[in-house]
Structures are given as C-alpha cells and as structure tokens.
Amino acid sequence: MAARHPEETIFREFLIAILLYNEAVADRLGLQPVDVAATILLEIRGPLSVGAISEELGLPSASTTRLIDRLEKAGYVRRVRGERDRRTVTVELVEGGLDDYDAACALSRRHLDAIATHYTPEQAPLLLDMFSRVAVAYRSATKELRQDAT
C-alpha cells in the first residue's frame, strides 16, 4: 500500500534509513540497537540513573539492567554508586568508551557533511528546529502507544 502523500513516503524512507543505520552500527559494535540508543542517550545527557535510562528507553527495569550489563561488559559504561546513598546507582560513559562508536559513525558523518553543502548557514537553525520537533513528536507518540498497550 503506497503512502497517501509524497511527503509521507519521503519521511518513511528517512525513518527506515535511520533504523537500519542504527542496526548496522549496533552489529558493527556487537551490541543491540537499544544498546546504541542508550549509549547515545548517555553521551547527550551525561550520567543517568538506571531508572532514568529505563524510563527514557521505555524498558522494564530487568531489561535495562541487562542492557547496562552488556554495555559494561563491552567497556562503554560503568555503574557508579552514590557517595551519600550507596543504594543509588548512576550509569556513566567510560573515558574513551565511545571510540569504537565514533569510528563506526565516521561514514555517516562524511555523508552528512556532504549534505550540509546544499544548505546555507541561515537554514541550519530551521533544520535543527525541525529535528527537535520531530523528536518530541515521536517521543510523545511512543509514550501514548505504550500507555495504550497497558
């Protein structure tokens, strides 16, 4: 069944490309796609509690624990116990832990840099605003889907 509008087809192709790329990066690193998402999340937001990772990724706590175990074993993250309350655990990236990830992303950066030549510096804020709004829209839709499933 074809999309109703050409814009929808283009956007769906974009989503497929992003999903497949994330999967290829995960395969290259010997991780799961959600592991890559967690790593990116930690890179963007900094150290997070296990609960915050679970909530951000929409995973049950047991799945989040296994995810962190995989990332820890692969050398990407470490668990840090709270100084005041040893029961609290924060997950943080390990120094140099993203080197393999950065190397895997070198190809995409090269391709994205080539795209940038098609836009003026004045257009960049508009594009970034669109990406930001699309991210918020998809996070909201994801939350609604998960709420409807329960």
Closest CA to 45 of 30, 60, 55, 32: 55
- Strand, coil or helix: 17: helix
Q: Where are the alpha helices (DSSP H) in 30-60?
A: 33-45, 50-57
- Looking at residue 77, the DSSP 8-state letter turns out to be E
pLDDT at 87: 81
pLDDT at 88: 86
pTM over 0.85: no
Predicted confidence pLDDT, tens digits, the chain (150 residues): 555 788 889 989 999 999 999 999 999 999 999 999 999 999 999 999 999 999 999 899 999 999 999 999 999 999 998 888 878 889 999 998 888 889 988 989 999 999 989 999 999 999 999 999 999 999 899 889 888 776
Instruction: For residues 70 and 142, give the distance between their C-alpha atoms in angstroms, rounded to a whole number.
Output: 24
Half-sphere exposure of 103 (CA within 13 A, CB side): 7
Say what angle helices 6-29 and 33-45 make with each other, to 10 degrees: 90
- Can you list the positions of beta strands (E) in 9-87? 48-49, 77-81
